[in-house]
Amino acid sequence: MEIMALVMFIAVCAVLLLGYPVAFTLGGVALTFGALGVMLGEFSVNQLWDISSRLYGIMGNETLIAVPLFVFMGVMLERSRIAEQLLDSMALLFGSLRGGLGISVVLVGALLAASTGIVGATVVTMGLLSLPTMLRRGCSPESATGVICAAGTLGQVIPPSIILVLLGDVLSSAYQQAQLDMGIWSTETVSVGDLFVGALIPGLCLVVLYILWLLFQAWRHPHHMPALSDEERASLLQAGFLRHLLGGLLPPLLLIVAVLGSIIVGFATPTEAASVGAVGAMLLALLRRQFSLSQLREVAQSTTRVTAMVFMILIGASMFSLVFNAYGGDELVKELLHGLPGGVITAMVAVMLLMFLLGFILDFIEITFVVVPIVGPVLLAMGLDPVWLGVMMAINLQTSFLTPPFGFALFYLRGVAPDSVKTSQIYRGVVPYIGIQLAMLGILALFPALATWLPGLVYGN
C-alpha cells in the first residue's frame, strides 16, 4: 500500500495542473484517499481525527504569527513609495558607471528584500519603476528584465523572508523528529532566527555575484548597459543629493537594523521583531505622508488575503501529510533516499532536483509545507546541518522562481512589462542569473560554513 502514497502525490500534481486552488486540492485529495484507505481497511477513522490536533497546533503556533506581521510590513512599505526614492538615490550613486543602473536595481532589490521579504511585490514594483527607465536610457530588454527578475527574488533568501519563517517552523519539527528517530531523546532545536542569521552571508554573496556579472556584462557589451547622461544626473542633483540619499536610504536601513538587529543580538524573537517591523512601516508611511485610514484598510485587507492563503495551504498540507504517512509514504521516502548509491550526497542532490522541478508547478509555500516535512527528517537523520539545509532549500526555491517557462518572477514581470518587451527576451535575460544561482548552490555545498558560521558565532551553537 506504500504505492498508494506515490499515487496520491502524483494525483495532487495532476489536479494542480488542471488549475484547481492549491489549498483545496491538497485537502480534497487527502480526504479522497483517506476515505479510500478506510474502506480498504488500511487505517481507521480514528487516525484521521488526528487532524484536529494538528490544526490546533497550527493556530497556536507562535512562530507563524510572524507571517501576517511581515506581510503587513511589506505591503505597507510598498504603498509608501520607498522603492521610488531608493532607485533615485542609487541612480545618483552609481548612474555614472556603465551598468550602474543594473547595480542600482540589484542594491534596491536587496534593500527591499531586507525590509519587505515579498517577492511578488518587489518584482512588480521594480518592473513598474525601473524597467521603463532602463529601456528609455538604452539598456537592452534582456539585460533590464533579467536583473529586475533576479533582484526581485532576493526576498526569498535575504531575511526577513516569509519562506525562511515557514522553513524554520517546518525544519524545527523535522529536526526534532530526525533526532527521535536516531534515538536522541534530549533533542536540540533550530529556530527561525537561526535561519535568518544563516541566510545573511549567502544572500549577500548572491548580491555580490549579481553585481560582478553586471560589471562584466557592461565591460563586454557596453552598449547594453549605458550610463546616465550628464543631463539626467544634473536633473536628479537639482533636487538635492544629500536629501535624496538620506531620504531614500536612511528609513529602510533603520527599519532593517530594528528588525534584523533585534533578532541577531537576541533582544527579540522573529515574531516580536515582525511586530516592530509592522509598527515601523506604519511610522515610515506616516512620516512620508502616505498614511491614511483608507490606506490602512487596504493594507489590512491585502494582509488578510495573503495570510488566509498561507494558512489554508498549511491546513491542506497537514491533511495531505497525515494521509500520506498513514499509507506509509514517509517510510517509502526513507527507503528510496537511503537506497540511492552515493549516500547522503546523492540523496541531497535528488531532493534538490525534486524541489527545483516542483517549483515549476508549485509555489514555495506548497513545497515547504508538502515536500519538506516528508524529506526533511530523512536528510537530517543522515547528519546534515538543519541551518545549512534550510538555506540550500531557500536558494533552490529562489532559482525555481526564475526558471522559464513557469518561474513566478517571470509571470510577475510579464504582467507589468510593456508590449514592446517580448516574453522570449525576459526568458533570455534571466538565464545568466539562473547560472549564478546554481553556482551559489554549488559554492554553499562545498563551503557549508557560509551558512553555519554566523549562527554559531551569534548563538554559540
Cα dist from 306 to 120, 151, 244, 290, 445, whole Å: 12, 22, 33, 22, 33
Report residue 31 CA to chain centroid gap.
29
Cell digits of residue 207 = 548580491
For residues 144 and 158, what is the distance between their CA atoms, to the nearest angstrom?
22
Domain count, the chain: 1
| Residue 397: exposure state from Cβ atoms within 10 A (0-12, 13-18, ≥19) | buried
Neighbour tally for 304: CB within 10 Å: 13
Res 240: pLDDT: 60
For residues 87 and 105, what is the distance between their CA atoms, to the nearest angstrom?
7
Q: CA 353, 358, 363 angle in degrees (round to 5)?
A: 130
Q: pLDDT truncated to tens, each residue of the chain (461 aa)?
A: 678 888 888 888 788 777 777 778 888 888 888 888 888 887 777 777 777 777 787 777 787 888 888 888 878 877 777 767 777 777 677 766 777 888 888 988 888 777 666 666 678 777 877 788 788 777 888 988 999 989 888 888 888 788 888 888 889 888 888 888 777 776 778 888 889 899 999 999 999 999 999 989 888 877 777 766 666 666 656 656 666 666 667 777 888 888 888 887 778 888 888 888 889 888 888 887 777 888 889 889 988 888 888 888 888 888 888 888 888 877 888 888 888 888 888 999 999 988 888 777 677 777 888 888 888 888 998 889 999 999 999 999 888 888 877 677 887 788 878 888 888 899 999 999 999 999 999 999 999 999 999 888 887 65
- Closest alpha carbon to 111 in 255, 273, 221: 255
Q: Which domain holds residue 147?
A: 2-459
Res 52: pLDDT: 79
- Closest alpha carbon to 388 in 175, 187, 181, 109: 175
Residues 6+ apart with CB under 8 A from 286: none
Cell digits of residue 376 = 526533511
Contact present, 29 and 12 (Cβ < 8 Å) = yes
Res 330: pLDDT: 76
- Closest alpha carbon to 256 in 291, 293, 237, 284: 284
For residues 243 and 271, what is the distance between their CA atoms, to the nearest angstrom?
33
Contact present, 280 and 259 (Cβ < 8 Å) = yes
